[in-house]
Amino acid sequence: MIEFLNFIPLNLKAMETSTKSLISIEKSKTSKIDKVDFDNLAFGSVFTDHMLVCDYKNGAWENPKIVPYGPITLDPSAKIFHYGQSIFEGMKAYKDIEEAIWLFRPLDNHKRLNISAKRMAIPEIPENYFMEGLSALITLDEKWIPKKAGSSLYIRPFIFASGQGFHASPANEYKFMICLAPSGSYFSGKVKVLIEETYSRSANGGVGYAKAGGNYAGQFYPTQLAIEKGYNQVIWTDDNTHEYIEEAGAMNIFIRINDTLITGPTSDRILDGITRKSIIEIAKDENIKVEVRKITVTEVVEAAKNGSLKEMFGAGTAAVISPISTFGHKGTDYDLPELQESYATRLKNRITDIQYNRAEDKFGWRYKL
């Protein structure tokens, strides 16, 4: 089933060892692309023809391989199943009107993946394995990048424990993989959220700042309870008092009171979102007053009551910005006003114009493949 086998030399300048490494490419004999309806893409449910796989064995990362997309085989005692050593990133690739391919702040994703790896006792992935493996994979499957407005190629790099054994200790073998999924817009419309008063997403000294799979698994049950009450998502509060607002679902959260945009500081509990950082810088460039500080539930409720609460929105890779239309707290729902010129729309347009190469990138965030 192999059409050809090719080898791409890695950039030795970035190598952490003296061993010459190669990315091998095993091209799929047939493509699934003709069966895909690119006008109706659900998020993260259709996958491209190839994926990148790289194994960690005997204390070192082996040569990365690009192979046809498909199932992988793991021993039932693989530690991912028992002790949850799993981390991931979320990224996108975009095509501009001239069909050039762009990434958005990919080195930040690599850095954050290794921050997560360190916290979860997973070996860090070298920058050149990440960047050049990513480039080779996207270039091979570049026809899968959708062109419809608002669509993109979602990129999922991840690492998990593949080593065997029931003993409670870090694995001795791991897999680094990258899979690609052409996707339409992640969210449509505004979101109704419930401020959480019982459950917590993370705690001081924990792994809330890492993109660890278990963080998201722990969110599903409280979120399902909120859905059963008629909400779409949960606003997470601190684990001690449930008085400080921290995140919105799987996204960072921004709150606009009068003309000031407020977001919580990153910590052990809050993910250092790349979209979050971008919004802060763009808002300052737009002369929007930004405050990075703790914000209480009481402050938000009082602002909603007196009319000074103008906007709330989530920020993350998949949706970029997801406006919140209503929040619930202690049995009462508070509707946010409909604004003709919202910060959410203004900031999202600035970010997406940079991502799709429609506007100047004065921040140096775009990365051309």
Domain coordinates of the chain in residue numbers?
2-183, 191-357
User: Which H or E element spans position 221?
Assistant: helix 213-228
CATH fold of the domain at 191-357 = D-amino Acid Aminotransferase; Chain A, domain 2 (3.20.10)
Q: What are 45-89's pLDDT values in tens digits?
A: 999 999 999 999 999 999 999 999 999 999 999 999 999 999 999
148 band by pLDDT with thresholds 50, 70 and 90: confident
7 band by pLDDT with thresholds 50, 70 and 90: very low
Q: What percent of the chain stands above pLDDT 70?
A: 93
3-state secondary structure of 45: coil
State yes or no: pLDDT of 157 exceeds 70: yes
Q: What are 181-211's pLDDT values in tens digits?
A: 999 877 657 799 999 999 999 999 999 999 9
- On whether the CB atoms of residues 63 and 7 are closer than 8 A, the answer is no
Strand partners, 251: 248
In Å, what is the CA distance from 18 to each residue of 6, 13, 65, 127, 128? 22, 10, 19, 15, 13
**Residue 179: Cβ within 10 Å count:** 18
DSSP 49: S
2-183: which CATH architecture? 2-Layer Sandwich (3.30)
| Amino acid in position 281 | E
The Cα–Cα gap between 360 and 354 comes to 7
DSSP 143: G
Tell me the mean pLDDT in the region 154-176.
98
The Cα–Cα gap between 166 and 178 comes to 27
- On whether the CB atoms of residues 368 and 96 are closer than 8 A, the answer is no
Residue with tokens 């300048």: 13
Token digits for 200?
A: 């917590």
Instruction: Work out whether strand 289-292 and strand 260-263 pair parallel, antiparallel, or are unpaired.
Output: parallel
The Cα–Cα gap between 134 and 128 comes to 9
The Cα–Cα gap between 259 and 166 comes to 55
Strand partners, 324: 191
Token digits for 140?
A: 């091979």
Sequence-ordered list of residues with C-beta below 8 angstroms from that of 369, at least 6 positions apart, any chain: 93, 101, 102, 103, 135, 138, 139
Write the DSSP string, 126-140.
Answer: PHHHHHHHHHHHHHH
The Cα–Cα gap between 219 and 197 comes to 13
The CA-CA-CA angle for residues 57, 129, 72, to 5°, reads 55
The conformational region for residue 116 under phi > 0 = left, psi -120 to 50 = alpha, else beta, is alpha
Q: What are 288-347's pLDDT values in tens digits?
A: 999 999 999 999 999 999 999 999 999 999 999 999 999 999 999 999 999 999 999 999
In Å, what is the CA distance from 47 to each residue of 35, 50, 108, 146, 181? 11, 8, 24, 12, 4
Q: Quote the pTM value.
A: 0.92
CA atoms within 13 A on the CB side of 109: 25
Tell me the mean pLDDT in the region 212-239.
96
Give, to the nearest 10 degrees, the angle between helix 106-119 and helix 127-140: 130
The Cα–Cα gap between 104 and 96 comes to 13
The Cα–Cα gap between 300 and 303 comes to 5
